[in-house]
Structures are given as structure tokens and as C-alpha cells.
Amino acid sequence: MRVSEVRKNYGKCLELVSMDPNFNNISVGLFIKKDILTVWSYSKKDQINDRLNSIRDKMVEFGGLQSLDSDYKMRIPEGALIERPLKFLFSQCVEMSPEKKPETGPITAKDNKTKLTFFVDGAFKDGKYIYTVTAEGEHEKPGLRIRAVVGGFIKYGECVRNDVDSFCFPDQKSHDEYVRVLLPYARNVSAVEQMLEANEQAGQMTTQSLGFSQ
């Protein structure tokens, strides 16, 4: 299809991964039209259909999205149309090993700047689903790092600050899958900014009017 046809059928390009490390380094895009997401590439390589469906299946598995019968497509559940987490989810699902499985149990990650380990727990409070960040380990002022992590969720998850150590999503509902996706980014905003800038430059180099590298 032409670029205009892709836009008409699939909507706007929400995110572009310039090189798929698991499939011939092609460029892959995530498109959104109303509440339908579509994984798409202009590549004509053998087994491209299987690869696009594989990415779609990973997004369903890791992001709590709803798979559709149509190839490459999935539906966003009500309240889960939050663009920034979807962008990070898509990038992870393209770049991760096809054998990787979602984590279960507590939502946790080690701090890459200190000896702390962060934990994020959610619960309903006053009609809102509030996520609270705590930390275990050695640090003179763990509260500073906790506030930084909450700030990361506000920046990358479009979240709203509830307190110095807590936040909620815009719809005030539970989105544990998004929290798992975002925690590795929220803990280190400066490094993520550098990564995003590099990815944007790479995307500009491989994209011509959304005609991706094939």
C-alpha cells in the first residue's frame, strides 16, 4: 500500500522502531485509529506477516491489549488509550527476544544509580487506583529517588501525582501492565531522554514520509 492508503486504513503513526533486531533490521510502525492499534511495515521480506503478528501478540501479552481476528491488529481496552505507555510497550515488544515471557508477582526493579530496589504497589483509595512507590536497600535519602521515580511515571506514563511517593493514571484505573513496562524507564529519566533522542534521529534517517526502511 501507499503511504496515504496506510494512513487511511490504519490511522496515524504512533511510534516507529527504525531497526527490528529480531527480523532483518527492518523498520516497523505502530498505527492508531480510534481504539484500534495496527503493527505495520512496508517490508516485503519473506515471513513478514508472521513477524508483524508476533509483535502484535507480544503487545497483547505484555500490555493487556485485546487481540483481533484481523492480522496485525489489536483493540485498546476502555481507559487504556494512553499514548506514551503504548509507545514504550511497542518498542519493547519489537526489541525483546521472541521467547521472553511477562513477569508475574510484585512490580519491582533495581535502581541503576544506587543500591536501592524499587517496588510499586497499587490499591483503591477514595475512588482512585493509586500506585505507591517504595524502596529497599542502602541510600542516605531514598525519598529523593522515590520522588524521581514518581516523576518518571508522570513524564512517560502521562500519570498524575497523588503525593510525593504516589501517582495514578489519567483515568484513575488500574494499569499494572503499563507500570511494569514503564518502571525501567521511570527510574532513570536522563538516560531514557538520551535513548529517545538517539531513536528519533535514527527514525528520521530511515523514514521518508513514513515509507519505512524495508
- For residues 183 and 120, the answer to whether their CB atoms sit within 8 Å is yes
Distance CA 61, CA 103 (A): 11
DSSP helix/strand/coil, 99: coil
CA dihedral 120, 148, 187, 93 (to 10 degrees): 80
State pLDDT tens for residues 37-96.
999 999 999 999 999 999 999 999 999 999 999 999 999 998 899 999 999 999 999 999
- The reported pLDDT for the residue numbered 2 is 82
Residue type, 209: S
Tell me, what's the pLDDT at 209? 46
Q: In the chain, which residues have pLDDT < 70?
A: 189-214
Please report the pLDDT score of residue 79 as a whole number.
87
pTM summary value:
0.87
Burial 27-37 (b: 16+ CB within 10 A, else e): bbbbbbeeebb
